[in-house]
Structure 1
Amino acid sequence: MALSAGDVDRFEAARPRLAAIAYRLLGSSIEAEDAVQETFLRWQAADVDRVEVPEAWLTKVLTNLCLNQLASARARRETYVGQWLPEPLLAGDPMLGPADTAEQRESLSFAILTLMERLSPGERAVYVLRTAFDYPHREIAEILDTTEAASQQTFHRAKKHLANGRARVEIDEAAARRIVKEFLTAATSGRTEPLVRLLTEDVISIGDGGGKVPARAKAFEGAQAVARFMWGLFRPAEAKRARVGGAPEVHAAIANGDPAFVAVVDGRVIGVACLEITADGIAAFRSQVNPDKLGRATERWAATEHGEPLLIAF
């Protein structure tokens, strides 16, 4: 049935929140946008005059669409080429959603989005709705057709699965730039020792190329191994420039609340590497170089101001 202008406005007012929920559940802006659009089609087909609480109705529909998609995504990721990582979003992207509390900021970090792959779809939904959007368990139970007690139990189970024993250090823009600059200086020094000093002993480096860009399927582990890999990554080579279409400009940025470096060629983002910062040093590098997962970052990059690059790579 045709929606009134007011009904359309009601949905559009909810769209940013729905998109942010979908992104945190799915780890992909494209899939999130598809879920939001399907929710709109369901809203369009519904007898909206009988919907008592539109926000709750829309959230329930969207969440269940995402749960169905997560179930099928597990099968797709079994055949994914290499390591699957979420899509990074640059600072200021509205799809990141609320980041007012420490819990909300942690839940959008690249580390937690990656760890959420350990969770069942139901655990992921409860964790996202409770931690990132502050839904009470009573409302979560209504959204997921469960009980309040079951929602609470699922939430505690999800938090246990996500615990990695590392205390995350929150970083502002100035600190992020300083950390990235220090890292790049060490990585391009021609020696591994300066870089090793910045890393934790058990640091890991993981990359997602999706079979379209070379990326090691197995993580590099340990400070020495990661330092050698990073030294080789930033070592100039004509073949690297040819592969990406030029010499990448490397900028400091914030992605998903983490310090990151962004590699750009002719205005196109070709890679985003998020650094997991702990009190003991850099504990992880998670690099997204799959071009299918960098389109939104490129759009955001083009729409925002950024300074001179810290480095011209390769």
Structure 2
Amino acid sequence: MTLTIRRSGVWVVALALVASLLTLAHARPAEANPAPGTTRTIIRWDISGMNRTTTYDRQIAAQRYSAMVQEVRDVSGHAVVNGVGETTTQHHIIELQIWNGANFVATAYMWADTLFVFGFYTVNGWHQFFNDATLYQDAQQMLGIIATMLPWNGNYTTMPGGTAAERQNFGYTGTTLYNALLDLSQIQNRIQNGTRDTASRNIIRMIGAVAEAARFQRVRNTVYNGILNDLGGYLSNDETTYENNWDRISTWVTNLINGVPQAPLVLGLSTYYTVAGLIAQLYYVEIKNQRL
């Protein structure tokens, strides 16, 4: 491209050129370049205001949270019957970019077909995936990047803070979730400096607020109300039981919808006989596609 600069406009053009370069440099975080044919969807979640004390700020933060969860559901699945969604069969990547206003914090990568969070990109330039060789290779090829492995495989049982009792004690207030999400930018530092347990717990908080909330409306409501009121936000025993039994719930619901007789579904102290009875407690569930 050739620029012709007249004397009277030299400063205007020069300033415009500088502004353009700065805009390109700061427009968005550095991120993986997808390999040819890769399909992925970018969702942007602004968490600013989540830790503030005014009712207005918390309302806006809660609305943004709700919109993010709905967008994850829209990208990952489709409606089946009233109150039930089902994940896609496409091995599609959801790239959830977490921002604090104009400041990039971190990206969480998840599979749309399983709603499984498999890795992160942090503001300091690190790509880190859970320690699962098959998923690691698949994700690395699709995103076209080199990543380091986290010390856990993504299953709650391998992670500090992953038991049902520990997850019930987290408390998803606006302030605690905000701080946990900001800390995602420090994953690599925490692993290197001996505070990896903190990184693990904050990752689990993020997974609960995003993936589990997309699966279960009950979980989404608990997190939403915690953000809105900046208090409480504790998962119940029922809610962590739902989280731990998503595969069982998905199989049971799918079979009943398809007319396959099923024994009652026992989850903790509760027994369910119909899909409608389950949805009366869950409000909404996005089940795992059984054709995967």
Query: What is the TM-score when the length of structure 1 is the normalising length?
Result: 0.23
Query: What is the TM-score when the length of structure 2 is the normalising length?
Result: 0.24
